[in-house]
Structure 1
């Protein structure tokens, strides 16, 4: 099947010339796609990757599509799911945005997948500091987003610091190495090339053939008259909307702050406007998103509608903003229909603060608009771009290696990735309201993004109790950007209609919560023998050897991984763990009923497994991969809890000098009885890990971790599926 025919199968129409040209990109260099709103960047980026999988052309296993706003993610996610269904390919599409995070992609890195999410959710995961992800699970997410991936960053002019961070991260992927290719595509209607200096770039732009295309030319040339509207305050804006809005049409008002959006919404109560901003619970925002489809009436919104949201307004009223943002706002009017008349009114003010933007940026836009009678895509493309003040933070090798490490509460400082993935005005925490703190971390759809400083001011002024999710439980501490924070439902501060208000009198009704699955030792359908599980885990890893060979992982390393899989739960043979599993005679890997975790006194079976492997002559790589298979024991053997004193005789709950009994793996080997002792100092672990990082690079090493963890998950799933069908053998 030709690419053009496949494109038509997926979309119902043939590609534009530039989209067909882009399908030839090999991924060896950075792709820069410069095309106006409505030129089909989304399909142009997704379908070539799908076509490669359709035709078995070598490409990456995962496509990662990063966007600046949640609303844009929702649209691209739904469109991509439809395209994948039409393609006939068995590929899963996952959504990752504040308020809605889909899991599963991290549990099998060998299966093709598309990840669509906001820049902060995806980049924080690529830096091993995934927002809203428990510490033990973060390495899995990092592995999935830093090896064998094609990254697409769309609407880069709206992504702020994320643009520079992703380019720097791309350089680290190239220099430190990954398994499989790691590719980068950047797309926007407006571009600033400065972060790309010194890098090999391949450009894709509209040319004469595109402008001669009847469908695309109609979008590019359609007129959008522009008018200046002098206003003094929100009352004038509301009056302008009432004067210009036509019944049974769509009018869009875009302002720069949540407060102004709310105020205008109140003044237009007679028109029952839809007020949209980013400070809603995910479950409430989903309802708003549904209302947007085929909506007629007045929408009052903040910047959340700027990028790619499929609105086609007849009337656009907008505050001054940076030029790139204005171009995006124009894209929400006269977007799809080409026959209707549209108008754009920009608000000329004298005394308002342009926050969150800088005054010179807005003034530069004003100067351009005074000379612009028509904001057609063609006219906008002719206007030189202002020199952007691109935010950027240097991302050094030391930084990414620090993020590779486990979070230790006993360290004097903690590294945050917030300033690498989002602008300071967007520094938020995720707030959940409930009568009692949920048992585990809630799904993000049940949380609301709230500016970190606003939340601190709220609970301090009201004397409200709050808790912050730590490594495995809720803690009493000050929240940092990206944290999940619990507030009692009675604390208020949230309105179901208006979102986050910081008013304690606004109280949402109680809502049902879903929490993250309990990854450690959930009850199993039946008592699973330890030897059986070890054999299953090795078998699960051997199943993906052809895939590992495609990644050019050496044969000797593959065999070492298989042995790690076979030995990974050896430490469960210890009497402490077997008592916890309430085993009766036979050594178990899974139990139908577990005792209290307290009785294990912090015993980490994976560290005991690694110590036993060391006694069998296993390399430190094997020891590390075995110890890391729950994400709890990775870069240090020091206590994770700052209140726990270090005991050289008890490491992560493993009492040195105790024994593991022999373990029979039927038809494979018998693991001998082992005394759990460590030669040298526990601090040697960190030194040896530094040697591994130099040998393999952090991205490859974290990927190898994930392969063992994936095999463990698949082995358990295999037995669970057999149990469902009445077969436990």
Structure 2
């Protein structure tokens, strides 16, 4: 072990430590030029007089000193006789550049996770503070160093040279969470991580040889292990440097190097675990690895070695809650099953929207929202789920418990829905994978507002002349016109343009899956209609949302007319029908409110929606009592019970395989040589 401290410019003291914590240096220098009881600094040292194993003080001089060549000539013998000594600051000649670079690389690796320059600066600061290091001395030290400006230690002690700076434009770009063609993977790691060592997070679970991870399987915090992205790539993608296990033989306990370990990442778009590929490997990614592939030792941490099979216990995974599950996949919306006791109940759209509006009113009062913002929040809550009247959503409920098809439901109990991968494939209008009801809700309100008052400032109002000279105006036909709008539509038309757009925005974004832009996802592009047209988030141009019976905030009943959905807002530029495009509306809101205030209002509506999803008493007044609630969730269709059973089976199978291998496997030793492994700095789960 080595200690080093800069005494004067260009001169470094290196001392040999016989054991940890015992430094065998002589007393610190009595003056800048001498060591007490030792030679003058700069005096040549007779290296042959140093006996092996004897405590030593070596003085290495700065480049240009006449004794440097002598030191370099004796360097091999010195390293042989004193293997514990690590030489720091040794000047090198031009023909020894390769050796210098290797030593610098070794020093940098040893310094991780810190930078070597920062450690050297800290060492200099400690030397200067050797007399006193109290708060007053530290404050005076920083003041003195600050006075030296760039010549002082502060720029090296507290370096600030970020590789990436988050600009306002990039912050605005991150505001949009629209999924892209890679599966909605938005890489923000460059803004939240520093240095060259960027990590992925790995966790292990025993996966059946002929199967895939359960779609609801998620890791607990204790199961996660950080691994540098480069090492993970070498191990998991077979780039070299790691020991891979043949996926066909790991079950038998005889790993080989024929194949890379089986590994998966979560696909937001597909709502399932998909096999790891090169494009998935980036800092911040979470990777699930089949535990039989090894790669982890309880004493060492991450090893990437096939023989090191990590222990897995039930606490390494957890059952996903309804709110988290709803956010985990594009199609998944488990809040529609209700929460707690409400998960055994059916709820109509009218009842759930009214309950959400009541909760939104309470939330707005609790946080002290302004009257205008509170009113917009309540209107958005009242209308947020009207898109669930769409045939695609209605068809997702496979068991209506005798409730008539013309009764439009927002909630159904657990176990009464089609499987997630087939959830929206039961509409009379055809399959609608990726369907988002919040998009249908916002488009329906936009259409009804246009039919009632196309000259509203949030629609064509103030843009009539521009529309006539460019794309022309599209006005409602006589049979489309809503001469006397009432209820929700009348309340929306009473708002000015910013408030009108805010209500639509909160409806659109209340699940966080549709926000700033209306873009197709891969499932849309794979689902052309008979005329070749493509949907957007499962909604087709011309879809009809049926009329719904509703109640206003004061309890007054009204009928929300049927609406034909139009996708024009997804286009850039002015719409002949609705005026500003959707992206233009969102940009104007962001300029007026800012990204964080919009996110705050989104969160409040989300809170109101979740709280309303807990309401189990009273039962829905629009449904017969015998139909509104089921006695219990069918266990065979309970997704949580299914996951728990799957976890028990996989753990049991892994334990049986462990018993059969235990006699052939050493513990705490290298599987090849029996030597103890180098201790890893990677955290154990």
The alignment's TM-score, normalised by the length of structure 1, stands at: 0.49
Q: Pick one of 366, 371, 380 that aligns with 1:564.
A: 380
* 1:349 to partner: Cα distance: 5.4
Distance, in Å, in 2 between the alignment partners of 1:491 and 1:399 is 39
CA distance in 2, matches of 1:721, 1:399: 47
User: 2:334 aligns to what SS in structure 1?
Assistant: coil
Distance verdict in 2 for CA 1:382–1:409, change over 3 Å: same
With over 3 angstroms needed to count, the CA separation of the structure-2 counterparts of 1:507 and 1:613, relative to structure 1, is: same
* C-alpha distance 682-365 of structure 1, shift in aligned 2 (>3 A): closer
For 1:447, the equivalent position in structure 2 comes to: 224
Partner in structure 2 of residue 486 of structure 1: 288
Question: What is the 5 A alignment of 1:195-274?
Answer: 230-231=15-16, 239-240=19-20
CA separation in 2, counterparts of 1:630 and 1:609? 12
Say whether the 8 Å CA contact 1:525–1:720 is kept in structure 2: no
Instruction: Choose between structure 1 and 2: higher strand proportion.
Output: 1
Residues 367 and 442 of structure 1, relative CA distance in 2, 3 Å threshold: closer
Offset from partner CA, 1:224-279 (integer Å, 9 cap, x none): xxxx9834xxxx68x325999xxxxxxxxxxxxxxxxxxxxxxxxxxxxxxxxxxx
Give the unaligned 5+ runs of structure 2.
1-12, 25-84, 89-102, 143-152, 208-212, 239-243, 245-259, 327-332, 338-342, 425-431, 450-491, 493-499, 572-580, 630-685
Can you list the C-alpha shifts for 1:203-226, whole angstroms capped at 9, x where unaligned?
xxxxxxxxxxxxxxxxxxxxxxxx
- 1:709 maps to 606
Cross-structure match for 1:286: none
Shift of 1:442: 3.0
Alpha-carbon RMSD across the aligned residues, in angstroms, is 3.3
- Superposed CA deviations along residues 469-514 of structure 1, whole A, max 9, x for unmatched, are 2324323433221111111111211122322222222111222211
Give the deviation of 1:402 after TM superposition.
Answer: 0.9
Question: What is the 5 A alignment of 1:662-681?
Answer: 662-666=547-551, 667-678=555-566, 680=568
- CA drift at 1:589: 1.4
3-state SS in 1 of match to 2:201: strand
Instruction: Tell me how far apart the structure 2 counterparts of residues 497 and 671 of structure 1 sit (CA, whole Å).
Output: 67
SS in 2 for 1:631: coil
Pick from 114, 125, 129: which aligns with 1:368?
Answer: 125
1:537 aligns with 2:295: no
Report how far residue 540 of structure 1 moved. 0.1
In 2, Cα distance between equivalents of 1:499 and 1:438:
26
8 Å contact kept, 1:537–1:715: yes
Residues 702/373 of structure 1: CA separation in 2 closer, same or farther (3 Å cut): closer
Deviations 1:607-637 (A, max 9, x none): 1111111123253332221121111111222
2:283 maps to 1:386: no
Question: Is 1:435–2:210 an aligned residue pair?
Answer: no
1:516 aligns to 2:320 (yes or no):
yes
Cα distance change of structure 1 residues 515 and 464 upon mapping to structure 2, 3 Å threshold = same
Contact 2:297–2:308 (Cα < 8 Å) also in 1 = yes
Determine whether 1:474 maps to 2:254.
no
Corresponding residue SS for 1:474: strand
Whether 2:394 is the aligned partner of 1:637: answer no
Q: 1:360 to 1:677 in 2, by over 3 A?
A: closer
Match of 1:465 in 2: 262
Query: How many residue pairs end up in the alignment?
Result: 390
- Please report how far the alpha carbon of residue 430 of structure 1 lies from its aligned counterpart in structure 2 after TM superposition: 1.4
Instruction: Tell me the residue number matched to 1:506.
Output: 308
State the alpha-carbon separation in 1 of the partners of residues 359 and 297 from structure 2.
Answer: 49
Aligned to 2:673: none
Which residue matches 2:408? 587
CA contact (8 A) 2:436 2:538 kept: yes
Separation in structure 2 between the aligned mates of residue 485 and residue 457 of structure 1, nearest angstrom = 14
Secondary structure in 1 aligned to 2:568? coil
Aligned with residue 172 of structure 2, among 396, 401, 418: 401
CA distance in 2 between counterparts of 1:415 and 1:713 reads: 26
Q: Which residue of 2 aligns with 1:322?
A: none
User: What residue number does 1:609 align with?
Assistant: 441
Cα distance between partner residues in 2 of 1:677 and 1:404: 26
Match for residue 189 of structure 2 among 418, 435, 447: 418
Relative distance call for 1:414 and 1:510 in structure 2 (3 A) is closer
**Offset of 1:435 from its aligned partner?**
1.8
Give the match for residue 547 of structure 1: 366
User: How far apart, in 2, do the equivalents of 1:637 and 1:395 lie?
Assistant: 25
Larger Cα-atom Rg: 2
Displacement of 1:681 after TM fit? 5.1
Deviations 1:352-399 (Å, cap 9, x if unpaired)? 504334443333333333444456434444433522321323221111
Partner deviation per Cα, 1:100-129 (whole Å, 9 max, x = no partner): xxxxxxxxxxxxxxxxxxxxxxxxxxxxxx
8 Å CA contact retained: 1:580, 1:595:
yes
Separation in structure 2 between the aligned mates of residue 418 and residue 672 of structure 1, nearest angstrom: 45
* Residue 627 (str. 1) matches residue 525 (str. 2): no
Q: Paired residue for 1:657, among 528, 537, 542?
A: 542
**Map of 1:113 onto structure 2:** none
- Matches of 1:413 and 1:230 in 2, distance apart? 55
Structure 1 gaps, min length 5: 1-227, 245-346
Q: Does the 8 Å contact 1:408/1:642 carry over to 2?
A: no
In structure 2, what is the Cα distance between the partners aligned to 1:721 and 1:458? 56
Matched position secondary structure for 1:424 = coil
Change (3 A) 1:535 1:698: same
Assess, with a 3 A threshold, how the Cα gap between structure 1 residues 375 and 507 changes in structure 2: closer, same or farther: farther
Deviation readout 1:124-180 (Å, 9 max, x if unpaired): xxxxxxxxxxxxxxxxxxxxxxxxxxxxxxxxxxxxxxxxxxxxxxxxxxxxxxxxx
Residues 1:495 and 1:438: Cα distance change in structure 2 (over 3 Å): farther
Question: 1:430, 1:444 within 8 Å by CA — same for their partners in 2?
Answer: no
Shift of 1:679: 6.2
Give the corresponding residue for 1:695.
592
Map 1:320-335 → 2, pairs under 5 A: none
- Tell me how far apart the structure 2 counterparts of residues 660 and 587 of structure 1 sit (CA, whole Å): 11
TM-score norm. by structure 2 comes to 0.52
CA apart distance, 1:533:
0.7
